[in-house]
């Protein structure tokens, strides 16, 4: 006998039995393969109309994890393939560093830092002008030749604004506190070990300075114009500059570079794009450094945004392109063009040489096949350490007059600090080494000048 269910499908019932209507053809899994022959035989009997054959309501033959064949009780219904849901994709390779921010966040924070320097400079200039007027000092005192009492407030104010914006931007990323997001990880039981490591690093740099050509005086010496200025420099250099610099270079920049370069070295196509981008960046730096005049500088440095308009018009909407990516590249060119324009010749030349050598290295590596993920990650980590240390050295190059000997030593210090950060996974550890290093330098300076009372000895 047959009956019609609510949805119009016909169901077969053995004679003399009443079966509640079903919602349609159902299927279940028969795990035992030995029962498959009996089920097929019963199904064939129903299809041929054999009398006395028990008509099963439904049956399923399980042929594996991906496909099941459902046999409905309706003789008109054929075998229906039912696709099992696909298995979840395997987890991708885990990068050595996976920060909660990316390159766009870094670019935004760079813009904030530059803007904060400008704001702090204007505020300091206003305060210094009022001080000069009140004490009947020349109007340009502290500006014609910046001293510690002008430079330190500017840097301190800029750092304060930068830290505030970074905190507001990165707090609660991935549900973590600000210090956890930045891999602060203070080594509570071994802090003295890293602080002592900074002292050892200072001694090693002192020994290496006998090998490298070190000039008698550098522009940084001008900031030690008086004992009060020396104390201000020492306090700022030991307790303020190391934490902020480590946050910028080893906390924010380094992990993003490790992740990006690891992925880049794993894909030759990404390597080619990176080499092209670095070549354009190096060339644009040459243009930014060569131009003169305020109007020409403003026009030329803003050209990337004009070039970004046609790129945005033709590329946005295509795979991998969006307005934010175009704006990021334009902002990067603007930032490096402005930085190259502000740098003195020697630091700029060093940066340009590094960029062109990096371009050649990436282009050569892109000609080979993709590296295994582990090899690509370690290669990216090594390149990230070099780039981070080079940026750290260039930050101090202006203070050192661009002399390659002191800049090379600062690069060495940056490499040690980056290695400490990479091994320990702690920005606090590299900060303690940095503080120990700077503290040792100022301590030796204090002893050499009899408590900052004879600063004229610094150039001897």
List, for residues 54-90, the tens digit of each pLDDT value.
Answer: 444 444 444 444 444 444 445 555 455 556 666 655 5
6-10, 108-112, 230-234, 434-438: the lowest-pLDDT one? 6-10
List, for residues 195-222, the tens digit of each pLDDT value.
Answer: 999 999 999 999 999 888 888 888 888 8
Higher pLDDT among residues 310 and 28, named by residue:
310
- Looking at residue 382, its pLDDT comes to 93
- Looking at residue 64, its pLDDT comes to 45
Which region, left, alpha or beta, applies to residue 98 given φ > 0 means left and ψ of -120 to 50 means alpha?
A: beta
- State yes or no: pLDDT of 47 exceeds 50: no
Q: How many Å apart are CA 158 and CA 181, to the nearest integer?
A: 22
Calculate the CA dihedral of residues 265, 267, 271, 273 and round it to 10 degrees. -150
151-165, 174-188, 315-329: the lowest-pLDDT one? 315-329
Angle value at C-alpha 342, between 339 and 344, nearest 5 degrees: 115
Contact 80, 68 (CB under 8 A): no
CB atoms within 10 A of CB 48: 9
List, for residues 287-323, the tens digit of each pLDDT value.
Answer: 777 777 666 666 666 666 566 556 555 555 555 556 6
The model carries a pTM of: 0.70
Torsion sign over Cα 107, 112, 115, 121? negative
- State yes or no: pLDDT of 161 exceeds 90: yes
Most confident of 109-118, 150-159, 433-442: 433-442
* 36: confidence class by pLDDT, cuts 50, 70, 90: very low
- Looking at residue 31, its pLDDT comes to 45
**Across 380-389, average pLDDT:** 93
Higher pLDDT among residues 82 and 130, named by residue:
130
Burial of 238-248, coded b for 16+ CB within 10 Å and e otherwise, reads beebbbbbbbb
Please write down the HEC assignment for all residues of 336-359: HHHHHHHCCHHHHHHHHHHHHHHH
Q: How many Å apart are CA 355 and CA 199, to the nearest integer?
A: 32
172-176, 256-260, 434-438: the lowest-pLDDT one? 172-176
**Across 99-124, average pLDDT:** 87
Tokens representing 271 are 């390597």
What ranges do the domains of the chain cover?
Answer: 2-83, 296-327
**Across 151-165, average pLDDT:** 93
* 274: confidence class by pLDDT, cuts 50, 70, 90: confident
- State yes or no: pLDDT of 183 exceeds 90: yes
Higher pLDDT among residues 84 and 248, named by residue:
248
| Nearest-10 crossing angle of helices 294-301, 323-342 | 150
**Across 436-446, average pLDDT:** 95
Burial of 188 (0-12, 13-18, 19+ CB in 10 A): exposed
């Amino acid at each position: 006998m047959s009956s019609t269910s609510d949805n119009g499908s016909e169901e077969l019932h053995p004679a003399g039995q009443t079966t509640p209507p079903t919602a349609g053809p159902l299927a279940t899994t028969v795990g035992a393969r030995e029962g498959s022959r009996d089920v097929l035989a019963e199904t064939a009997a129903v299809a041929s109309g054999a009398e006395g054959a028990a008509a099963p309501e439904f049956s399923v033959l399980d042929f594996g994890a991906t496909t099941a064949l459902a046999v409905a009780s309706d003789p008109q219904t054929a075998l229906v393939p039912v696709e099992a849901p696909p298995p979840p994709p395997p987890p991708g390779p885990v990068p050595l560093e996976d920060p909660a921010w990316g390159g766009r966040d870094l670019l935004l924070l760079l813009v904030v830092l530059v803007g904060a320097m400008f704001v702090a400079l204007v505020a300091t200039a206003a305060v210094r002008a009022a001080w000069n007027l009140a004490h009947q000092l020349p109007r340009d005192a502290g500006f014609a030749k910046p001293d510690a009492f002008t430079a330190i407030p500017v840097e301190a104010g800029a750092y304060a604004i930068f830290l505030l914006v970074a905190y507001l931007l990165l707090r609660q990323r991935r549900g973590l506190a600000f210090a956890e997001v930045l891999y602060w990880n203070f080594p509570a039981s071994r802090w003295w070990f890293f602080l002592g490591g900074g002292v050892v690093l200072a001694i090693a740099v002192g020994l290496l300075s006998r090998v490298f050509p070190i000039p008698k005086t550098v522009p940084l010496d001008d900031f030690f114009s008086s004992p009060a200025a020396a104390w201000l420099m020492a306090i700022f250099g030991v307790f303020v500059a190391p934490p902020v610099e480590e946050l910028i270079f080893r906390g924010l920049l380094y992990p993003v570079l490790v992740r990006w370069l690891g992925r880049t070295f794993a894909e030759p196509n990404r390597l080619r794009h990176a080499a092209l981008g670095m070549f354009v960046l190096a060339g644009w730096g040459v243009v930014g450094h060569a131009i003169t005049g305020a109007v020409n500088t403003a026009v030329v440095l803003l050209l990337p945004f004009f070039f970004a308009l046609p790129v945005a018009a033709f590329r946005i909407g295509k795979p991998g392109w969006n307005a934010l990516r175009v704006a990021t590249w334009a902002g990067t060119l603007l930032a490096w063009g402005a930085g190259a324009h502000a740098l003195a010749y020697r630091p700029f030349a060093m940066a340009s040489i590094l960029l062109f050598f990096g371009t050649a290295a990436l282009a050569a590596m892109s000609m080979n096949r993709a590296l295994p993920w582990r090899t690509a990650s370690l290669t990216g980590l090594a390149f990230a350490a070099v780039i981070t240390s080079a940026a750290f050295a260039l930050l101090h190059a202006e203070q050192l007059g661009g002399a390659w000997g002191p800049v090379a030593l600062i690069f060495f210090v940056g490499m040690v600090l980056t290695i400490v950060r990479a091994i320990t996974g702690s920005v606090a550890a590299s900060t303690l080494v940095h503080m120990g290093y700077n503290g040792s330098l100022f301590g030796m300076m204090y002893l050499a000048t009899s408590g900052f009372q004879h600063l004229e000895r610094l150039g001897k």
